[in-house]
């Protein structure tokens, strides 16, 4: 009895700046003769249109890939298996850090809020405007910043926190991202009294795919600053506790 031909497939581990485009393995591309526009079918059965881009004999998932990444809550370290079903369709299976298939509902809950532990609430304001709030409670000194273009390169630390933590006399602080990676970041006191995070901060936000409009909570725990990243712009983050600074 003749065996059916295996389904062409490849895998990719998401590392570096994967959110804009993703390179296909060369060995797969050599045998691939599909069209320039393909579909990616995610774990929930939904399909995304993604345009392929050829550059220097390499082939990338490009236009439309960014939306696939966002809608499926993908993060660095995730392991994706692409099965080519023909007719320009790839079925994608996603594995997370547990080495098991990713639970999409759990990923939505955790990753859209950067793992931030808080109570989500919906408020209906006058005029029937709905306000979605994540209430974040902490006993530690903390502050939040909604990322704007200038904050992606340097970031102002509230003067109350800078004084309380003695940052004016320090050269660096340690940031810990939601994956518990450590990032040494330079702090620079300014003549006008501000204290800025600069050198090293850019590497941290790029590695964590922090974008304009994301909200980052900086929590000063013992020995380092813990980052909580809220990527869903539909939520307003409300800090509560005895040591909150706005």
Structural domain includes residue 3: no
CA separation for the pair 117, 111 (Å, rounded): 11
From the list 213, 206, 227, the residue with the least C-alpha distance to 76 is 206
Structural domain includes residue 51: yes
Q: 64 lies in which domain range?
A: 9-108
Instruction: Tell which of 78, 108, 138 closes a domain.
Output: 108
Kindly report the CATH number assigned to the domain that includes residue 79. Answer: 2.40.330.10
CA separation for the pair 13, 76 (Å, rounded): 8
Q: What is the pLDDT along the chain (246 residues), one digit of tens a residue?
A: 344 455 689 999 988 778 889 999 999 998 888 788 999 999 989 999 999 999 988 999 999 999 999 899 888 889 999 999 888 899 999 998 888 999 888 777 666 555 554 444 444 444 544 557 777 888 888 899 988 877 778 898 988 888 888 888 889 999 998 877 899 999 998 887 788 998 999 899 888 888 888 889 999 988 899 998 888 777 778 887 766 665
The answer to whether 126 and 228 are in contact (CB under 8 A) is no
Task: Count structural domains, the chain.
Answer: 2
| Structure token pair of residue 143 | 């502050």
- The answer to whether residues 212 and 183 belong to one domain is yes
The answer to whether 123 and 191 are in contact (CB under 8 A) is no
- The answer to whether residues 200 and 144 belong to one domain is yes
Judge residue 114's burial from the number of C-beta atoms within 10 Å of its C-beta, 0-12 exposed, 13-18 middle, 19 or more buried.
buried
């Amino acid at each position: 009895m003749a065996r059916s031909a295996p389904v062409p497939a490849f895998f990719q581990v998401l590392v570096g700046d994967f959110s804009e485009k993703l390179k296909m393995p060369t060995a797969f591309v050599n045998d691939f003769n599909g069209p320039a526009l393909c579909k990616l079918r995610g774990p929930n059965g939904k399909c995304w249109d993604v345009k392929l881009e050829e550059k220097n004999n390499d082939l990338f998932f490009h236009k439309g890939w960014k939306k696939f990444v966002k809608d499926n809550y993908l993060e660095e370290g995730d392991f994706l298996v692409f099965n080519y079903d023909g007719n320009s369709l790839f079925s994608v299976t996603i594995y997370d850090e547990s080495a098991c298939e990713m639970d999409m509902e759990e990923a939505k809950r955790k990753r859209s809020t950067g793992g931030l532990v808080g109570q989500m609430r919906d408020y209906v304001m006058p005029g029937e405007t709905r306000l979605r709030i994540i209430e974040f409670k902490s006993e530690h000194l903390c502050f939040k910043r909604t990322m704007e273009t200038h904050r992606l390169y340097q970031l102002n630390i509230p003067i109350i926190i800078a004084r309380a933590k003695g940052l004016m006399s320090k050269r660096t602080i340690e940031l810990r991202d939601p994956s518990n990676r450590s990032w040494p970041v330079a702090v620079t006191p300014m003549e006008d009294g501000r204290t800025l995070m600069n050198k090293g901060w850019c590497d941290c936000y790029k590695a964590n795919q922090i974008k304009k409009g994301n909200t980052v909570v900086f929590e000063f725990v013992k020995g380092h600053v813990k980052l909580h990243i809220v990527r869903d712009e539909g939520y307003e983050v409300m800090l509560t506790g005895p040591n909150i600074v706005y």
